[in-house]
Amino acid sequence: MCGIAGIHAYSPVNQSLYDALTVLQHRGQDAAGIVTEQDGKFFLRKSNGLVRDVFHTRHMTRLKGNTGIGHVRYPTAGSASSAESQPFYVNSPYGIVLAHNGNLTNQQQLVRDLFKADLRHVNTTSDSEVLLNVFAHELQLQGKLQPTEVDIFAAVESLFKRCRGAYAVVAMISGYGMLGIRDPYGIRPLVYGQRTDSRGRTEYMIASESVALDALGFTIIRDVQPGEVVYINAQGELFTKKCGPSLTQTSCIFEYVYFARPDSFIDGSSVYRARVRMGEYLANKIMQEHPEHDIDVVIPIPESSRTSALELANHLGVKFREGFVKNRYIGRTFIMPGQAMRKKSVKQKLNPIGLEFKDKNVLLVDDSIVRGTTCQQIIEMARESGANKVYFASAAPAIRYPNVYGIDMPAKYELIAHDRTDQEVGTAIGADWLVYQDLEDLIKAATPSDEVDGAREFDCSVFNGKYVTGDIDEQYLAALEASRNDSARETKDKEDKSAMIDLHNNA
Ligand SMILES: O=P(O)(O)OC[C@H]1O[C@H](OP(=O)(O)OP(=O)(O)O)[C@H](O)[C@@H]1O
Ligand SMILES: NC(=O)CC[C@H](N)C(=O)O
Ligand SMILES: [Mg+2]
């Protein structure tokens, strides 16, 4: 799940983009990048690492210009080589840079077509570079010396016909402005807003999450609609057009469970409200399944489960206590590359407060169980701290299927719930009992307050194996599993790093 941002302003945007990426850091910790534009020249800085490590003063001062885009990366395709950090650049037509959140599901086909039919060169194994080249090719086909919004919309219309999967995009065309694109299903989030500068001029921002707009003083206009393009030309005029087919919106429900920050709104639905309701529904289910429960205390597993766990405790009428202290300098473990690193990080990140466990029956609450890395170690810690019984509740249903839309869960056998019943998962993680949220309840929880509960559709593929784009079959999933499972990826990352694919101009 990457984070993207673009700003069109009347004063330098380097610091604002840096701040936006910091606010979006929870969406990607592996690499970061910013491109700005001034007088027809792009200035790029991108590399592996957190935002604070990638940009030093010397880089910031070189990022000149009043328009720019940025990216924080959590790889789901290609490798972890710094050459695959984003934004990507292509020189023709005009000079275009692009940053992408999501994952293309027909990358191989597109690469073949780009090479054989469009005569284009793709230098990395990133799907985002492919996406950029498809856009560039389609824009070139419009054949305009000076493209207008009409040409840009036409190019994206063709891109929608060619590119499958999930893609929320920000891009910049040298001399012609900035645009945001959301795929026809609206799988990944994208929102835009405006603010007024001291001289009364309107500035625009496009970003993955509304928190980035809040932090920079932009007022939200609305979410970019599925299949819509938002274009701000070099003169600062805004144009929007729905260029994709009319499909039912199916945005990713896992954004509400884990990825997004609770203070964000996605498609009119508050992530915080969704998590509160997840806690309420989960409490109801626990009361149904264990009416005579003997829970003494509810303890959240920081960070993401806290909102749900507090509400769950309120509804159960049981004490809520912070039983784990989180090391604030360790990032999110689930989005780290490689199981060894994830495993090590749980212990570095979370430490129990013995007092809250000793001789108590504790209910541990997490937002989700994916590989089981976190809950297994946490349950062990709870027992070592003297807990009597350790129960576990997951605010999301069991994750049994791979994700193909921008969450790095490529191999079903790496998922602890794959091929296991709920009860078997409980045993595998070492809990006395385990309760999972029901999918219908999760859907209800994520439905915006002004809509009928449960009427909104979402991509729930990790829970039900139904892939909304309709192009995913067993063969695709088998190839994905073979190429991106933990050990295959580790080998590829090592190879790419030593091969030094490195074609980008570092500011
Ligand atoms: O079953 P697993 O494979 O361990 O994955 C699930 C865990 O990973 C995430 O936490 P993470 O540390 O990434 O982020 P957080 O601090 O936002 O909770 C999530 O919140 C669960 O705790
Ligand atoms: N998580 C994402 O959105 C990843 C974007 C892109 N597929 C990459 O791997 O860089
Ligand atoms: Mg967590």
Mean pLDDT by groups of 10 residues along the chain of 507 residues? 96 98 97 97 97 96 98 92 94 98 97 97 95 98 98 98 98 98 98 98 98 98 98 98 94 98 97 98 98 97 97 98 93 82 83 96 98 95 97 98 94 95 97 98 95 91 97 95 85 68 57
Distance from the alpha carbon of residue 327 to the mean position of ligand 1, in angstroms: 14
93 within ligand 2 shell (Cβ under 6 A):
no
In this structure, whether the domain defined by 272-326+346-451 belongs to CATH 3.40.50.2020 is answered with yes
Side chain identity, residue 368: S
Residue minimizing CA distance to atom 10 of ligand 2: 75
Report pLDDT for 270.
Answer: 98
Report pLDDT for 285.
Answer: 98
Report pLDDT for 345.
Answer: 80
Distance from the alpha carbon of residue 336 to the mean position of ligand 3, in angstroms: 12
Asked whether residue 493 is marked as a ligand-binding residue, the answer is no
Tokens of 488: 């295959």
Report pLDDT for 487.
Answer: 81
Residue minimizing CA distance to atom 7 of ligand 2: 103
300 within ligand 1 shell (Cβ under 6 A):
no
Task: Give the position, in ligand 2's atom list, of the atom nearest the Cα of 102.
Answer: 3
Report pLDDT for 505.
Answer: 52
Measured from the alpha carbon of residue 330, the closest ligand is 1
476-492 burial: b if 16+ Cβ within 10 Å, else e: bbeebbeebbbeebeeb
Which of 100, 480, 489 for a ligand 2 pocket mutation test, highest count of atoms within 8 Å of Cβ?
100
Q: What are the phi and psi torsion angles at 193 (to 5°)?
A: -155, -175
Report pLDDT for 106.
Answer: 97
367 within ligand 1 shell (Cβ under 6 A):
yes
Q: How far apart are CA 292 and CA 433, in angstroms?
A: 13
Task: Give the position, in ligand 1's atom list, of the atom nearest the Cα of 374.
Answer: 4
Q: How far apart are CA 346 and CA 326, in angstroms?
A: 10
304 within ligand 1 shell (Cβ under 6 A):
yes
Of residues 2, 163, 252, 375, which has the active-site annotation?
Answer: 2
375 catalytically annotated: no
4 within ligand 2 shell (Cβ under 6 A):
no
Task: Give the position, in ligand 1's atom list, of the atom nearest the Cα of 334.
Answer: 13
Smallest Cα–Cα separation from 23: which of 337, 264, 346? 264
Half-sphere exposure of 87 (CA within 13 A, CB side): 30
21 within ligand 1 shell (Cβ under 6 A):
no
Report pLDDT for 336.
Answer: 82
**What would the CATH number be for the domain defined by 3-247?**
3.60.20.10
372 within ligand 1 shell (Cβ under 6 A):
yes
Which runs of consecutive H residues, i.e. helices, occur in 163-268?
210-215, 254
Question: Given its phi and psi angles, is residue 374 left (phi above 0), alpha (psi -120 to 50 degrees) or beta?
Answer: alpha
Measured from the alpha carbon of residue 27, the closest ligand is 2
E-strand stretches of 74-151: 88-90, 96-104
369 within ligand 1 shell (Cβ under 6 A):
yes
Report pLDDT for 501.
Answer: 60
Asked whether residue 438 is marked as a ligand-binding residue, the answer is no
Question: Given its phi and psi angles, is residue 30 left (phi above 0), alpha (psi -120 to 50 degrees) or beta?
Answer: alpha
Report pLDDT for 79.
Answer: 86
Distance from the alpha carbon of residue 481 to the mean position of ligand 3, in angstroms: 24
Residue 386, helix vs strand vs coil:
coil
Report pLDDT for 499.
Answer: 60
Asked whether residue 471 is marked as a ligand-binding residue, the answer is no
Tokens of 299: 């303890």
Distance from the alpha carbon of residue 306 to the mean position of ligand 3, in angstroms: 9
Distance from the alpha carbon of residue 495 to the mean position of ligand 2, in angstroms: 19
Task: Give the position, in ligand 1's atom list, of the atom nearest the Cα of 336.
Answer: 13
Q: What are the phi and psi torsion angles at 494 (to 5°)?
A: -65, -45
Measured from the alpha carbon of residue 188, the closest ligand is 2
Report pLDDT for 497.
Answer: 64
Task: Give the position, in ligand 1's atom list, of the atom nearest the Cα of 326.
Answer: 16
The strands making up 31-38's β-sheet, listed across from edge to edge, are: 41-48, 31-38, 67-73, 3-8, 202-207, 191-196, 219-223
| All CATH 3.40.50.2020 domain ranges in the chain, comma separated | 272-326+346-451
> Could you tell me the sign of the dihedral formed by the alpha carbons of 372, 373, 377, 382, in that order?
negative
Distance from the alpha carbon of residue 125 to the mean position of ligand 3, in angstroms: 30
| All CATH 3.60.20.10 domain ranges in the chain, comma separated | 3-247
- Give the Å distances, CA to CA, from 26 to 21, 50, 134, 255, 292: 9, 10, 29, 12, 39
Q: How far apart are CA 36 and CA 15, in angstroms?
A: 11
